[in-house]
Amino acid sequence: MLNFNLQNGKVVLDAYTMMIAEIRQIVEDFKDNPDEGIRVLTYIHIASRLDPKAPFFGAKEEEVKELASRNTWRENIPENLSDYDDVITAYKKAYEGAESRVSIIFTDKIDQISKMIKDTIPEIVAYTTSSGSKGFATNTAIITKAMSDLDNLLDAKEKLQARMQKQVLKEGKIMGKKTPSRLEKRMMKEGA
């Protein structure tokens, strides 16, 4: 997976990611302008929402691409960013595990439920039954229950993310998070 560098706000390309044909194509397409190529790869990495350390990991699904593009380029945002949707899909397929997919689903559903709760106005409605008795009905119990269920969803998501972090640490010990050798760097440069 591309590694997001917080100091310069860009990703660092690794040998494993070069195995993805679409990523190799971007590197090839931008070999005359590698800085722009890194910006494109940074956008792809952030927009994919795979890396909890990357900005906007918890952003709403419909906002993440705009946030990623605005913060990657700041100004002069390319108009053809939708051309990279297939690359984002391929990148996700390469690195997205089941836990990550579920975490993103949790985030999206929590956002949807939050919006529904926010948009629901508490009401008290007077009614009359067919027998003529009068009463009042309210939706506050439903809103309160939804808010309580939201808290349970957040707890479940937190447990899932802890499990994901444990898995990342375990993989880090196995893989060693090594840096590419000179041969690997040369192969990446040549696009082999």
Q: Which pLDDT score is estimated for 192?
A: 43
- What pLDDT sits at residue 175? 41
Q: Are 55 and 67 in contact (CB under 8 A)?
A: yes
Tens of pLDDT, residues 76-124: 899 889 999 999 999 988 887 777 778 788 888 888 999 999 999 999 9
Return per-residue pLDDT of the chain as tens, 192 residues: 887 777 777 888 888 788 889 999 999 999 999 999 999 999 999 999 888 788 888 888 889 999 999 989 988 899 889 999 999 999 988 887 777 778 788 888 888 999 999 999 999 999 999 999 999 999 999 999 999 998 888 888 888 777 776 765 555 443 445 566 676 666 656 654
pTM of the prediction? 0.65
Tokens of 7: 């100091």
Contact 40, 81 (CB under 8 A): no
Q: Could you tell me the two tokens for 83?
A: 């051309």
Contact between 110 and 58 (Cβ < 8 Å)? no
Q: DSSP of 124-165, one letter per residue? A: EEEEE-TTS-EEEEESHHHHHHHHHHHHHHHHHHHHHHHHHH
pLDDT score of 167: 66
